Amino acid sequence: MYRDRPALLFDLDGTLIDSGDDLATSLNHVLRQDSLPALPRSRVLEMLGAGASVLVARAYAQHGAEEPADALARYRAHYRRHCLDSTRPFAGIRALLRRLAPDRAIAVVTNKPLDFAEQMVAGLDLDRFVRTVAGPETANSRKPDPEMLLAALAALGHGPEEAVMIGDSPADVEAGRRAGTATVAVLWGYRHRDRLAASAPDHLAATVDQLGELLIAS
């Protein structure tokens, strides 16, 4: 389907890597410091997608509590130390990237702060496959704004008509559509199928194998 498109833009959390346990652990560490109950992993995952500052704000709002001025800094400090404790690529992702990397230009495009994203891509040994990482600082925007995607494509030397945006959230789909890329929503991440289908991606991929069928010539 997209075997002739040379540029592939991947979301990070929920698409390439399962980071849910470490994100929830760091968030709940901060809540407990402020004598607030921990949130279940499933609830934390529902709040992801708009960046760390929004995640922390949403966590305090869940408890009807005012967010302390230093909460975000405490969250980031804990997460920096523990972001790779349990986080791993989803099953099959490393093998897929290995097949894609020789002939395709691969970028990570994430709402995670750029320094964290780069740390994790390198720490999980995915940097051998990924040519560039774009975060909110890259274009002073977050998905669904398309500017981050366009900046990544410029770094790769390709245009939107040559690219596919692959992610697990409606924001990924909207960002790809607004940038002018094809869009694939993956179903192994942190969003419900109904929400992803309602965002009208060009294709849904239920498994990593199905994604590979869309991207790689048989």
Q: Which residues are catalytic?
A: 11
Ramachandran sector of residue 140 (left: φ over 0; alpha: ψ -120 to 50; beta: rest): left
Residues 6+ apart with CB under 8 A from 122: none
The owner of tokens 């966590």 is: 59
CA distance 217 to 103: 12
CA distance 126 to 105: 14
The residues with which 132 forms a beta bridge, in sequence order, are 107
CA distance 39 to 100: 37
Per-residue CA distances from 78 to 85, 118, 145 (Å): 11, 17, 28
DSSP state of 160: G
